[in-house]
Amino acid sequence: MMKRLSVVLVLLVFSAAALANSVTNVRLWQAPDHTRIVFDLSNEVDHRVFTLSNPDRVVVDMTGTTLGGSYADLELDDSGVSSIRSAQRDDGSLRVVLDLDSELTPRSFVLQPNEQYGHRLVVDLQRDDRTSPTIEAAREVRRAETDGQRDIVIAIDAGHGGEDPGAIGVRGTYEKHVAMAISREMERLIEDAEGYTPFMVRTGDYYISLVRRRQLAREANADFFVSVHADAFTSSQPSGASVYALSDGGATSTMAEFLASSENQADRVGGVSGVDMQDMDAMVREVIVDLAMTHSMQEGLSIGEQVLQRMGQVTNLHRRRVEQAGFAVLKSPDVPSILVEAGFMSNPRDEANLGSQAYRQRLARAVFDGIKDYFDDNPPPGTWVYTQRRNANSFDSYTVRTGDTLSGIATRHGISVNRLREINNMNSDVIRVGQTLRVPNG
Ligand SMILES: [Zn+2]
């Protein structure tokens, strides 16, 4: 009899706990254009958000909620929030007050539980768009030039970020950090390559919706978009790097289908606000009407093949051909794109490799070399690489006159003496009157 009673008591306690909502944890993520505060909750929450001025504050009221976590560990530096405090109100609600030290516009939404998290309330504090460093960076890239001619812009998209860790390895490695480390290596290589400019879509540990990633690349006038990942599979067996391109129909393999569907879940984990959703609708309409999509897809495939070939020289490949599936992040009508899976976080050897800087550098170089192989052969008109290529391939002939020097001829045709010697297969600077030389066209 006593035994039965204690069971009933335990059940009562549990159901009471289930009814009351509680904030179990709070996270803060800083993006260039907003600060995101995420409240983990034990249940779905009714809430309202409003602002107060003098001094500027954002107030978040959560109905029937208590505070189970703490704000102590949050790093508020440069977040625009100077302090966070909260109080239990008489009606049972929890009032959280965010004291602001700059002008921010709040936007809030709730997220449903998924594999990684339970119920969440997201409060984004938006900076004024005109001063957004991300958009500034995109403008900067648009102007990037070498010798007065446009650079080829490569948008590098480090997958996941912030609220979305991506795949988590057996040793606890987060995909979002691996993706960022490889992306940073690529950024350095591209910065050093003449005629090329990198654009980092994500610059820190925060989430960007899949549609926004494509938009940022377009704002930067990117010629190419490469999304960097290292996902996991349900078994530890699959290993090796792979390259994926967009498909307009089905997937080319079950792995491609599996990865595309898990990648496309990112917005549910990372958190996408209503504004991004509206953008997505507009984008989908655009994609459907734009025939350029097919061209971008083909170009993505061609570039993907070059990248895969280069990667095959430095690491094991999961598949020897470019796979295709409906990756949302690749659905840009006019920017060709690929998604690189640097390896499987679910495979212990791959995870160990991805944790090594030397390996990440090798991989980053292979990816960029592959992209460069393509663009060096197919440079977009108007770019510095295009002009170099044209000069290298088309020549006029020039007949040497009295008083000519090799350096004088080179200067008049806008090339170096070395280059002039090179295109004429010369070993010395000696020229004779009446001799015919190859010089750049135009
Ligand atoms: Zn991923």
Tell me which residue of 383, 253, 397, 376 sits closest to 320, measured CA to CA.
253
* Topology of domain 20-129, CATH: Immunoglobulin-like (2.60.40)
Q: What is the pLDDT of residue 9?
A: 47
Tell me which residue of 311, 330, 183 sits closest to 246, measured CA to CA.
330
Lowest mean pLDDT among 18-22, 102-106, 261-265, 406-410: 18-22
Task: Return the sign of the alpha-carbon dihedral for residues 68, 72, 74, 79.
Answer: positive
CA 117 / ligand 1 centre spacing (Å): 17
CA dihedral 150, 215, 76, 99 (to 10 degrees): 120
Q: What is the pLDDT of residue 12?
A: 44
Instruction: Give the pLDDT mean for 55-76.
Output: 91
The contacts found for 68-75 with CB under 8 angstroms, 24 or more apart, are: 68/22, 68/23, 68/24, 68/42, 69/23, 69/24, 69/25, 69/26, 69/40, 70/26, 71/26, 74/26, 74/27, 74/28, 75/28
CA 156 / ligand 1 centre spacing (Å): 14
**In this structure, are residues 270 and 161 in contact, taking their beta carbons and an 8 Å threshold?**
yes
CA 298 / ligand 1 centre spacing (Å): 23
Lowest mean pLDDT among 3-17, 55-69, 278-292, 355-369: 3-17
Instruction: Give the pLDDT mean for 103-129.
Output: 88
CA 404 / ligand 1 centre spacing (Å): 61
| Angle at alpha carbon of residue 102, lines to 99 and 107, rounded to 5° | 70
Q: What is the pLDDT of residue 277?
A: 57
CA 121 / ligand 1 centre spacing (Å): 23
Instruction: Give the pLDDT mean for 132-140.
Output: 70
CA 310 / ligand 1 centre spacing (Å): 21
Q: What is the mean pLDDT of the chain?
A: 86
CATH 2.60.40.3500-classified regions of the chain = 20-129
Give the residues across from 226 on adjacent strands. Answer: 156, 338
* Topology of domain 132-377, CATH: Aminopeptidase (3.40.630)
CA 1 / ligand 1 centre spacing (Å): 55
**In this structure, are residues 66 and 88 in contact, taking their beta carbons and an 8 Å threshold?**
yes
pLDDT greater than 60 at residue 227? yes
pLDDT greater than 90 at residue 108? yes
| Residue range 394-440 in CATH 3.60.70.12 | no
pLDDT greater than 50 at residue 28? yes
Percent of the chain residues topping a pLDDT of 70 = 89
Q: What are phi and psi of 225, to 5 degrees?
A: -130, 125
CATH 3.10.350.10-classified regions of the chain = 394-440
CA 237 / ligand 1 centre spacing (Å): 18
CA 230 / ligand 1 centre spacing (Å): 6
Q: What is the pLDDT of residue 149?
A: 87
Q: How confident is the model at residue 3 (pLDDT cuts 50, 70, 90)?
A: very low
Look up tokens 């190859």; give the residue: 438
Q: Where are the beta strands (DSSP E) in 53-136?
A: 57-62, 65-67, 81-88, 94-100, 105-111, 119-126
143 vs 383, residue with greater confidence = 383
39 vs 32, residue with greater confidence = 39
| Angle at alpha carbon of residue 292, lines to 288 and 294, rounded to 5° | 80
pLDDT greater than 90 at residue 130? no
Instruction: Give the pLDDT mean for 95-107.
Output: 92
pLDDT greater than 50 at residue 14? no
Lowest mean pLDDT among 160-164, 220-224, 244-248: 244-248
Q: What is the pLDDT of residue 16?
A: 43
pLDDT in tens, 397-440: 899 999 999 999 999 988 888 888 888 888 888 899 999 998 88
SS3 percent helix, strand, coil of the chain, rounded to 5, is: 40, 25, 35
